[in-house]
Amino acid sequence: MSKFRIGAEAWNNRFSGDGWAYGKEPNEWLKLRIQPNNGKALVPADGEGRNAVYIASLGYETTVFDLSDVGKSKCAILAKEKSVQVDYQVDDIATRDFKNEYYDLIACSWFHIPWELFAIHYPRMLKSLKAGGDFICEGYHTSQLELNSGGPKSLDLLWDLDEVMDVISDGFDVIHAEVESIELDESDLHRGPAKVVRIHLKRKQPK
């Protein structure tokens, strides 16, 4: 069985309940940073679609890719509730083809993958941002391992800010890149004091 299939089954199980595992509201960092626009947005690993549906409500032509076909079905329900459209594609970052300089925004929360894959595929994904486009994300810091408010229980999946920036910041202006202490209240799975990495980068204009 492939790693893709194993991962998909785990997330399908997580999303198979009647409710939304991480709630229906968008991630607070994304909500704070993303402005209304009629451009194209990519929302990686958005599970049941809470961020994508919010971003679509701001006017973006919004695409999701995620491993979970159950998540796709839940996203469709939420999009209908909010009267927006989201193109949800069941796909894996490791095998996905990214269009070069295509999106105005890439936004994600809690998209944790093994570091070896992160170092290869996050930069590949970010090449699909147009000049002037924004990358906005939030992930759990390595110190989150000691806390119980959510996130992976493996250092290989958690983020060290310097290491992340070394991998992804080339070709970007840094608008914000900090480790922050916050109080999470997204769902029972994400609630309580947390240590997070918050990033906002803007693709540089060609000289």
Which residues lie closer than 8 Å to 5 by C-beta, 6 or more apart?
none
More confident call, 47 vs 84: 84
Q: Which amino acid would we find at residue 86?
A: V
The per-residue pLDDT for 5 is 46
The per-residue pLDDT for 4 is 44
Mind listing the pLDDT tens digit for each residue in 27-43? 999 999 999 999 999 99
Regarding beta strands 190-203 and 129-140, do their DSSP bridges make them parallel or antiparallel, or are they unpaired? antiparallel
The per-residue pLDDT for 76 is 95
* Average pLDDT score, the chain: 92
Secondary structure element (H or E) that encloses residue 153, with its range: none
For 117, the domain range is: 3-203
Nearest-10 Cα torsion for 157, 182, 161, 98? 60
Place of tokens 């194993």: 6
| CATH number of the structural domain spanning residue 115 | 3.40.50.150
The per-residue pLDDT for 3 is 46
Portion of the chain with pLDDT greater than 70, in percent: 97
The per-residue pLDDT for 139 is 97
Check whether 2 has a pLDDT greater than 50.
no
For the entire predicted model, the pTM comes to 0.93
Check whether 189 has a pLDDT greater than 90.
no
Which residues lie closer than 8 Å to 62 by C-beta, 6 or more apart?
40, 41, 42, 43, 52, 53, 55, 56, 84, 85, 86, 87
Structural domains in the chain (count) = 1
pLDDT band (50, 70, 90) for residue 7: confident
Residue environment code for 85-114, b if the CB has 16+ CB neighbours within 10 A, otherwise e: ebebeebbbeeeebeeeebbbbbbbbbbbe
More confident call, 19 vs 199: 199
pLDDT band (50, 70, 90) for residue 185: confident
Check whether 150 has a pLDDT greater than 80.
yes
Mind listing the pLDDT tens digit for each residue in 84-143? 999 999 999 999 999 999 999 999 999 999 999 999 999 999 999 999 999 999 999 999
The per-residue pLDDT for 1 is 34
